[in-house]
Structure 1
Amino acid sequence: MAEHLLLVEQESDWKSGFPRLPVVTARDYLGRTDDAKLDGNKRIDCSSRRDLRVINLCRSYRYLSIGYYCSLLAEARDHKVVPSVRTIQELSSREIYGLVTDELNQRVQRLLGARKGGPTPTAYELTLMFGHCASRELQPLARQIFETFRCPILRVELRLQGSWRIADIKALPLSALSSEQEADFFTALEWYLSQRWRQPRARLRYRYDLAVLHDPVEDLPPSNPRALRQFIRAGKDLDVNVELIQRKDYGRLAEYDALLIRETTRLGHHTFRFAKKADSEGMVVIDDPDSILRCTNKVFLAELLEANRVPRPRTLILRKETLFDAESEIGYPVVLKIPEGSFSRGVFKAENRPALTRIARRLLRESDLILAQEYLYTEFDWRIGILGRRPLFASKYFMSKAHWQVVRHREDGKREEGSFETVPIEAAPPEVVRVALKAANLIGDGLYGVDVKMTTQGAVVIEVNDNPNIDAGIEDLVLGEALYRNIIGELLTRLEKQRGPGGAS
């Protein structure tokens, strides 16, 4: 039977008069302790248990905060967690959650617009606790908001702006509640702990129009112009209408029934909003929003790979209090990484303690956690392309001249890139392909590029990329046009699977 676990940022956040429930601090949960104290003398191994249901009650879910990392690592450990990282991201800005509130606004208008008699207020503020609110009249709305944004405590502001609308949604910490609200919170919590946790199902659509999101002025795009033309040609061969779209075409996204993102993805970026919107519309999408969430953050990937025993360099997740663990447990030189980064950006090598301190101080201004990794030099990295849980291509990316990375970013803004070699997938070392598949399958069934180093101790995974390069003249040197047909064909297969046996082909 699944066990519940409540996370708080500090022990004092769970007051002495609160109910005796399974509570641990974020520090204990993040620290991968062999066992963490729950209640009384009972203890549990937080890092290896896969059946935990985690309720994250940290003080903040700000991006790269301790609260954010608790949800991130909970997902990496295969724990069911609220709020999920996806929910945290959705609540991070009005621009993002505004994408999914149209249906909610219709219900707000139905509930509040029909009121008659007495002065008409122009604003309401609701506090939601696991989908419960103080107003019986607005309870159906509260439940629907919670089903959309599963977060323990939410403050929702409703405003009359021509019609009634949701003006603001914000996650609240436990400390923001009054003593009376605390009693209501524990009543709602007791109810929630007794419920079955489930995920909403996506809606389906039924056309064969594919949008390819790209940025024609991106400095290091994942697909060059020749590759984009190849996607269009492959689509014609498979009776799929492929159309290139840009950020300005967001309002037209619902015209298509599939989305292929060929622009570098980031959280808090329009690429993620496109993926989220496409997913909510029931469209087939690569990269899907969950893959973006899981691949973008290297801390999540590190935890996921370790939890599933995927070979990788020795890796530590560091806070400022544990910075010198990198020195004692890994040694120099050590590679330091900001959680988010692409094309070798945000990755630094420290040769000694002064360098470790200087680099870490800068990185910790951006993130509460950073990654330290064993330095393993190889002449080249393998990049294994994975699509739909099958190997697609194999390329060698060589280090740039007199440098330890594939891409060397200079202080003047210029960059140098190493050479490449693409080989038949069967020519790649079987061990490299095997560990790449294992790593990618932990993320999902989309399109991934897994970077692997072949060392004297065997193949080790460096990272999994949700938006791998598909460039004409590089990754397609072996397969040619078939590379693009495979990708379009995978999208087409998923579309036809949505239609079912009665759909058109």
Structure 2
Amino acid sequence: MSRLIIVVEKTSDWGSYYPSDNVVSAQDYLKQSLNDDDERTQVINLCRSYKYLGTGYYVSLLAEARGHKVIPSVRTINDLRRRSLYGLDIEDLSGRLGKFLPAGGRDTTDFGILVYFGETSHPALEDLARQVFDAFPSPILRIEFERDRVWQIAAIKPTGLHSLSDEQEDAFAQVLDRFSKKLWRKPRARRKYRFDLAMLVDPEEKMPPSNRKALKLFIEAGSELGIEVDPIGKNDYQRLAEYDGLFIRETTALDNHTYRFANKAEKEDMVVIDDPESILKCTNKIYMHDLMLSRKLPIPRTEILYKDDPKKLEESAERLGFPLVLKIPDGSFSRGIVKVEKPENLKEAADTLFQHTALILAQEFMFTEFDWRIGVLNREPLYACKYYMSRGHWQIYNHGAKGTSKSGGFETLPVREAPADVVKLALKATAAIGDGLYGVDIKKDGERLAMIEVNDNPSIDAGVEDVYLGADLYRRIMEEFLRRMERKRLGTRA
């Protein structure tokens, strides 16, 4: 079962609240002997200060040494000292603060807000508060703003419980209650499993990378190996540290929660597939284009187009010929891809895509009856599929005008029966990315090969990719998680 410990610097700091067995003084916590039981422990460090080598700093430091999950972590404390704002979306800050400030506050040049576990009482700033907490997970933060023509964040500072007013104490108590309930899990008589693996899914996603039956088969395969595979959603971000690993079965993107989950899992030293570096490399086709060129791997003839350079658009079309294909850098499942048949349609198609991105790719059109998909796990081929083009269409997925999506047929076969040059190219392409789980799309036209893309979050659907391997496909992936989690655990003990 899970245990929650709330650490305060002085017992008087908790004086406004009901006594609780979960609350201990910093001195008592630091004096505690190491507990070797099987209980998961979450520590909320509410010390007055986290200054280097101070009491609050040592609470977080020893919590981590004891194997406890602590907020704030030592890494967060150090990040706050550096005041780095990397990764925060502050582009529309002035607009959001304009809605927040009352009419009489237009002449204000500086002010601050309090954030409790990522929540704020100011609706216009809720998203910013969550982002700040995701970047610097800490119980109480004060975000300070200043205006010099435009609003900007002046500082992000951890704040002590002792400094809150009565009204602020009430607000904090309400948020702490909600937050602690997310941390606690239902007690277990005894752990049945050696490892816990979080599987990030979205039941509402229209085209998920794994269908429901596949998710169930992953859970069953994990159970056979002593891994409890627990489906979680985007609202379970703060529970992530409970697990030994993270398996992302949602379509990944840099600008949504999937990347934040991967990044947090890596910071928590968890085993994670898809890891953040693979997401970063695979989800942008322009990055992938340059990476494959640098490795001298065959790809379709491609030109990168810029929004403010119409001349380059015309010149590229002349070099590539018609028909050609325009792609946005971060499209998935055949979305954001347009086939241009004639020169007179080129500008309109490009302008439509440029509404979403500053750069697009123009690529020669290579028609093949099907694309090869080679699944790769830890630098070894895992499965081989032929994905046929959707009936009467030039892509695998045909996204209809009425919002419907149809895909072509498929053929799954043993890796040994796939062309050797296709498998070799897939392994070379993924070697440039990492050692995770990938799906490599390759076109083969006679003797010519062209690597189309590497997917960091490949489709694994029951009844498609598992047709040849069956349950063994899911078992192999879970075995890789097991191997990595065992290695992590042994490394921690060493």
Asked if Structure 1 and Structure 2 have the same fold, meaning a TM-score greater than 0.5 normalized by the shorter chain, the answer is: yes
- Counterpart in the other structure of 1:432: 422
Q: Partner of 2:432: helix, strand, or coil?
A: helix
Whether 2:407 is the aligned partner of 1:409: answer no
Deviations 1:55-97 (A, max 9, x none): xxxxxxxxxxxxxxxxxxxxxxxxxxxxxxxx99723364445
Q: TM-score, normalised by structure 2?
A: 0.64
Question: What's the C-alpha RMSD, in Å, of the aligned pairs?
Answer: 2.8
Deviation digits for residues 365-415 of structure 1, max 9, x if unmatched?
A: 211110111100000000000111111000010001111000101111112
Q: Secondary structure at the match of 2:401?
A: coil
Q: Shift in Å at residue 158 of structure 1? A: 3.5
In the alignment, is the contact (CA less than 8 A) between 2:217 and 2:471 conserved in 1? Answer: yes
Count of residues in correspondence between the two structures:
338
Q: Structure 1 residue 429: deviation in Å? A: 0.3
**Equivalences for 1:178-327 in 2 at 5 Å?**
208-320=195-307, 321=309, 322-327=312-317
Supply the distance in 1 between the matched residues of 2:320 and 2:299 (Cα, whole angstroms): 13
How far apart are 1:213 and its partner, in Å? Answer: 0.8
- The percentage of aligned residue pairs carrying the same residue is 49
Look up the SS of the partner of 1:443 in the other structure.
Answer: coil
Structure 1 residues 433 and 161, CA gap change in structure 2 (3 angstroms): same
Structure 1 residues 395 and 302 mapped into 2: Cα distance closer, same or farther (>3 Å)? same
Q: Find the counterpart in structure 2 of residue 100 from structure 1.
A: 135
CA–CA distance in structure 2, aligned partners of residues 491 and 266 of structure 1: 22
CA contact (8 A) 1:227 1:472 kept: yes
Please name the residue that 2:53 is paired with: none
What letter matches 1:243 in structure 2? D
Q: Is the 1:382–1:397 contact (alpha carbons within 8 Å) kept by the matching residues of 2?
A: yes
Gaps of 5+ in 2: 1-83, 91-127, 165-192
Residue matched to 1:76:
none
**Could you list the runs of 5+ residues in structure 1 that have no partner in the other structure?**
1-86, 110-121, 128-153, 166-205
**1:316, 1:373 within 8 Å by CA — same for their partners in 2?**
yes
Distance (whole Å) between structure 2 residues aligned to residue 310 and residue 89 of structure 1: 33
| Counterpart-to-counterpart distance in 2, 1:210 and 1:231 | 11
- Aligned residue among 87, 92, 104 for 1:90: 87
Take 1:126 and 1:285, find their aligned partners in 2: how far apart are those partners? 40
Separation of aligned partners in 2, 1:88 and 1:453: 42
Is the 1:126–1:157 Cα contact (8 Å) retained in structure 2? no
User: 1:500, CA displacement in angstroms?
Assistant: 2.6
Tell me if structure 2 keeps the 8 A contact 1:400–1:418: yes
Partner of 1:342: helix, strand, or coil? coil
Structure number with larger C-alpha Rg = 2
TM-score by structure 1 length? 0.63
Contact 2:389–2:407 at 8 Å: present in 1 too?
Answer: yes
Q: Please state how far the C-alpha of 1:452 moved relative to its aligned partner.
A: 0.3
1:207–1:257 CA contact under 8 A, matched in 2? no
Which residue is equivalent to 1:460?
Answer: 450
The one-letter amino acid paired with 2:276 is P
Matched residue, 1:339: 329
Q: Is the 8 A contact 1:384 1:393 kept in 2?
A: yes
| Residue pair 2:195, 2:228 contacting (<8 A) in 1 also | yes
Q: Is contact 2:375-2:383 (8 Å) kept?
A: yes
Q: Secondary structure at the match of 1:276?
A: helix
1:92-130 deviation per Cα after TM superposition (whole angstroms, max 9, x unaligned) = 364445323136x89x99xxxxxxxxxxxx958799xxx
Checking the alignment, whether the CA contact within 8 Å between 2:144 and 2:153 is kept in structure 1 is no
Q: Which residue, out of 364, 371, 376, partners 1:381? A: 371
After superposition, what is the alpha-carbon deviation per residue over 1:126-148, rounded to whole angstroms, capped at 9, x for unaligned?
A: 99xxxxxxxxxxxxxxxxxxxxx
1:348 equivalent in alignment to 2:335: no
Q: Residue 203 of structure 2: SS of its match in structure 1? A: coil
Q: What SS does the corresponding residue of 1:90 show, helix, strand or coil?
A: coil
Tell me, in whole angstroms, the C-alpha distance in 1 between the residues paired with 2:277 and 2:291. Answer: 14
Corresponding residue of 1:157: 155
Q: Which secondary structure does the structure 1 equivalent of 2:480 belong to?
A: helix
- Give 1:456 deviation, angstroms: 2.5
Question: What letter is aligned with 1:334?
Answer: L
Sort the Cα spacing of 1:403 and 1:286 in 2 relative to 1 into closer, same or farther, 3 A: same
